[in-house]
Chain A
Amino acid sequence: MAELELDGLTKVFVEDDGNEIVAVDDIDVTVADGEFLVLVGPSGCGKSTTLRMIAGLESITAGELRLGGRRINERKPAERNTAMVFQSYALYPHMTVKQNMSFGLEESTDMPAAEIAETVIEAAEMMGIGDLLDRKPGELSGGQQQRVALGRAIVRDPEVFLMDEPLSNLDAKLRSKMRTELQRLQDDLGVTTIYVTHDQTEAMTMGDRIAVLDDGMLQQVGTPLECYHEPANRFVADFIGEPSMNFFEVEVQGDRLLADDFAYPLSNETLSTVGDRTELTLGIRPEDIELRTEATGPHDFETVVDVVEPTGDENNLYLTFDPDASEPDTFIATTGGMNRIEAGQPLVAHVPEDAIHLFDPDTGRAVKNRSLDDAETLGRAV
């Protein structure tokens, strides 16, 4: 087992006309032995390219890749001791499940046939596909193919698992089931894993740590709760969490933040972190907004419900300050699913000061994150 280090990893693609495109820009991450790291970001952010560089499918333009302290930049894919699970599963359609799983051992080791057969059967039993060994991929359901793809990776007994959105072709129900199963499997095997996804739910639920990428650059590496409660910048704050954080462009005037439709008074403590900035972005998570019937404090704002989206356990409320506009600007607040709330109803939104985030509008960097008295304890528990 080994630790995987990405040291200034960079990938530049040169187009036919000489244009250079930086797909991955100077990424530093160290994945501890046995850790489950999730690489998350929107499509085109370079997360798959990063994974492919680790696998050896893509050359490394600059930087160093180390496995167990040894540089593996120049090693061939098969010699890196990694196994990859692809989004499309990439099973060999003309081979049976058994042949699919044996292929890697046959091609890359001198293992005798009997031992290969034994290893394959063992891995297949572990994945619960022992009775499918003589079938071909075309005769299997999506979930079963997924298990075969995982089994094929496990058989190799690699030092690192690389997974490229392996669950995105499954239906929602199966996906959440496989999510749990994958986590348990990784835990049992204790193999260092890098898991690429664009789905922030997968990132939050599966990873020991999350690495958030945007535009080829690493935005933040941290535990899921760190990324959630202490986002390094506006991008991370926006990307992690569902529904997304609400953002308001505000101006600092005296001890208040002035937005288009409201003024938000700040405590001296917060003011000192703001410093001499005049423009800020105020962020507040939908679940941190408390709904009241009457405005009593300075952090209470009178709004009107524009749209209600019930999800069962929760209601997503789109609130607005000017209900008369034809397409009003809205922000989201969530409330318990048992509360009966209807569109057009007036509501008071309480925005607690210890839950607000402030960002620099130019760099996007976090100026102030929410107070972490409670969040910190959560973070430790992970």
Chain B
Amino acid sequence: MTDTKLADDGLSLNRIGLYAVLLGLVVFYLLPLEAGIVTSFKSIRAYGQTAPFLPAVDGFTLAQWSSAVDQLSGSLFNSVLMAVPATVFSALFGSMAAYGLTNIDWRGQVGIYVLFVAGIFVPYQAVLVPLKRFWSQWVPLHIWLEPVWYLTGLGTDYAGLLALTITHIAYGIPICTLLFRSYYKSVSDEMVEAARLDGASIRRIYRRIILPLSIPMFAVTLIYQFTQIWNDLLFALIIVGPGDASVITQSLIGIGQSESVTNFPLQMAAAFVTALPTLLVYIFFGEQFAKGVTA
């Protein structure tokens, strides 16, 4: 009896230790988040008087959130306008490229694939200057598409947003191709051959067989690409610049800075507003994401 009791004690001691560590980790990871949320509901005065992670009883206010939404709504719209098509098209093109490089046999495809892979390793910083020059001198969309900007009433600033969208699509294709290729390799050759024998063309096989089977992988690439593109600041600064068409990451930098003191509660609220869409994407595609990752 005493033996089991001792064993029980040992077990529960282990358990206590385990839970303590887990609890510590929970605090470690969640405290900054909690501090951010709590802070975003404080007035500037209350922020100065309370500890960052404690809620302010008197100074509770929704003003920071409404102010953040007000100030960011324009660039939030711009970001959606840019990130959604950029994500969808980079995933779609990546999927098509991977299909052509994996499930169809042709000469020299390995060489082409190597170029795709190399594209993944080109750092953002290395292409900043060429990129700027490309969009301003070689492909000046603000001039080429002038009627569009006037007819839609968007203004030439939006040429930069379109350029940014195309840049993100191009930059996203290599990694999407890599992700889709690893998935398409597991697609049975015999099934593709069966479709060929059934009379389906290469395009029809993609449309009717490969695409429907790629949904889990699309969830993976959509989440990954959306987060990347949404959070990007560097390309946006270079290509879009300040103005009506600036994206949310650009607006976030400047928010809460104009006043005599830095408005941390406003910055917190703005940060959450900025992060919200990526969070929503995870929630919407989470189930498919899990399937795609384990596939």
Q: Report A's interface with B, CB cutoff 8 A.
A: 55-57, 77-78, 82-84, 86-88, 90-94, 103-104, 107-109, 152, 156
Contacts and interface: CB of A to CB of B under 8 A. Distances in A.
A61 to B, nearest CB: 16
Contacts of A90: 188, 190-191, 193-194
Contact of A86 (B193, B199, B208): B193
A83 B200 CA distance: 13
A84 B213 contact: no
B191 to A, nearest CB: 4
A161 to B, nearest CB: 12
B76 to A, nearest CB: 36
Contacts of B194: 84, 86, 90-92, 152
A94 B195 contact: no
Contacts of B212: 94
Contacts of B213: 93-94
B191 A78 contact: no
A78 B188 contact: no
Contacts of A92: 191, 194-195, 209
19 contacts: A55-B193, A57-B193, A77-B197, A78-B196, A78-B197, A78-B198, A78-B200, A84-B194, A86-B193, A88-B188, A91-B191, A92-B191, A92-B195, A92-B209, A94-B209, A104-B197, A109-B199, A152-B198, A156-B198
B185 interface: no
Contacts of A86: 190, 193-194
B188 A108 contact: no
B198 A104 contact: yes
Contacts, number: 59
Contacts of B197: 55-57, 77-78, 82-84, 104
A22 B196 CA distance: 25
B172 to A, nearest CB: 26
B15 interface: no
Interface of B: 188, 190-191, 193-200, 204, 208-209, 212-213
A167 to B, nearest CB: 15
A232 B196 CA distance: 38
Contacts of B196: 57, 77-78
A114 B117 CA distance: 47
| Max count, chain A CB within 10 A of own CB: residue among B191, B193, B199, B200 | B199
Contact of B199 (A55, A93, A108, A152): A108
Given A55-B193, A77-B193, 16 more contacts: A57-B193, A77-B196, A78-B196, A78-B197, A78-B198, A78-B199, A82-B197, A86-B194, A88-B191, A90-B190, A92-B191, A93-B213, A94-B212, A103-B195, A104-B198, A109-B199
A104 B199 CA distance: 6
B190 A108 contact: no
B190 A88 contact: yes
A78 B202 CA distance: 12
A316 to B, nearest CB: 37
Contacts of A83: 197
Given A88-B188, A93-B213, A94-B212, A103 B200 contact: yes
A55 B194 CA distance: 10
A88 B195 CA distance: 14
Contacts of A55: 193, 197
Given A78-B198, A83-B197, A107 B204 contact: yes
A27 to B, nearest CB: 21
A84 B204 CA distance: 19
B143 to A, nearest CB: 46
| Max count, chain B CB within 10 A of own CB: residue among A82, A87, A92, A108 | A92
B190 A87 contact: yes
A219 to B, nearest CB: 27
A346 to B, nearest CB: 54
Nearest to A162: B197
Contacts of B208: 103
